[in-house]
Amino acid sequence: MVAQPVPQSPARPPLLSSSLWHCPSELAFVDADDKLNVVHYSAPSKSRPGDANIVALDILTGATLCNCKAAECGKRCWHQELVQAAWDGHPARVLASRFTDAQLSAAGSKAAHMVAWARHRRFRVHPLDQLNLLAARCEYRARHLPALVAEVAAEPVPAAVLAALDAPTHAPLVYRVPYQEPA
């Protein structure tokens, strides 16, 4: 009997063979940026001893960016493969996933208030407030975004909106330059 390959999801590229030898716990959390919705992780570099590779994850799009040698050559590295699993396993993210909707809303509102207050009063935000805000945002979107997308996709687009999209937004611009006699 011949073993059949496991089909991969079309949304994610197939796993690298090198990522099978690594686990998300090898990535260490560095910081979170609530303005950009990005979390950063680091891992010790194998090719450059003493250096650390930094991998960034955009929690909205799932895009990753890494500064390791493989990523610099345009290849997908194990850091990029495992950063989403590392973020999903972060204690703040796990705690947010266990909240009820009311608790999640309260925690997100409180974190947003703390971040806004710190930016206004101290011009510096506490890293844990940013982390908690991102974890709450991520969990809220994971719970509610699929339903919102399905609801919006089910609604027909009114004909007036389609006509407005096809109509020109302004009259064509005509530049009139006064005629000058050649010298």
Say yes or no to pLDDT of 107 above 80: yes
Instruction: Give the model's pLDDT for residue 48.
Output: 82
Q: Which amino acid is at 105?
A: S
pTM over 0.75, yes/no: no
- Which range, of 9-23, 61-75, 100-114, 139-153, averages the lowest pLDDT? 9-23
Instruction: Give the model's pLDDT for residue 28.
Output: 92
Q: Sign of torsion, CA 12 13 15 18?
A: negative
- Mean pLDDT confidence for 117-134: 89
- Mean pLDDT confidence for 54-83: 88
Say yes or no to pLDDT of 39 above 60: yes
Average confidence score pLDDT of the chain: 81
* Residue whose C-alpha is closest to residue 141's, from 116, 113, 105: 105
Q: How confident is the model at residue 5 (pLDDT cuts 50, 70, 90)?
A: very low
* Beta-bridge partner residues of 44: 52
Q: How confident is the model at residue 94 (pLDDT cuts 50, 70, 90)?
A: very high
C-alpha span between 122 and 93 (Å, rounded) = 26
Q: How confident is the model at residue 7 (pLDDT cuts 50, 70, 90)?
A: very low
C-alpha span between 20 and 118 (Å, rounded) = 42
C-alpha span between 175 and 20 (Å, rounded) = 63
Tell how far CA 114 is from the center of its chain: 22
C-alpha span between 93 and 96 (Å, rounded) = 5
Note the helical H segments in 47-158: 69-72, 78-88, 91-98, 101-121, 127-154
Q: Is 93 helix (H, G, I), strand (E, B) or coil?
A: helix
- Mean pLDDT confidence for 86-99: 93
Give the list of residues 6+ apart from residue 65 with CB closer than 8 angstroms, or none. 55, 56, 71, 80
C-alpha span between 86 and 88 (Å, rounded) = 6
Q: How confident is the model at residue 8 (pLDDT cuts 50, 70, 90)?
A: very low
Say yes or no to pLDDT of 12 above 60: no
